[in-house]
Structure 1
């Protein structure tokens, strides 16, 4: 699945995680392949299903 990097950055900033948002901007391409970048997304605390309104729900 592909997600626009800005959606990830916006999600992180919305959580008050500005450092993680900056890292996402530096390290992720403009269009993020969730399979290819799964490790970085995990480290950033991003569940791609949450961004597309999937059934994954949120976890903390």
Structure 2
């Protein structure tokens, strides 16, 4: 599932604070593939399962 980086960064900001969110913003690709980028997500305390649950199994729109 692809998720816009901004949505991931905001989740990290809420969970781990601004410093980690800023770090993730620099490191993550513009579109985060929750399966391919699983190791990066884990670094910030997120998992494919968590994000899939949060978005109801649907990739959120970038709109």
Query: TM-score, normalization: structure 2?
Result: 0.68
Residue 3 of structure 2 corresponds to which residue in structure 1?
Answer: 3
CA RMSD in angstroms, aligned pairs only:
2.0
Tell me the SS of whatever aligns to 1:3.
Answer: strand
Q: Which ranges in structure 2 are unaligned for 5 or more consecutive residues?
A: 58-63
- Report 1 or 2 for greater relative contact order, CA contacts < 8 Å, sequence distance ≥ 6: 2
Q: Deviation of residue 47 (structure 1)?
A: 2.2
Q: Deviation of residue 15 (structure 1)?
A: 2.5
Residue 32 of structure 1 corresponds to which residue in structure 2?
Answer: 32
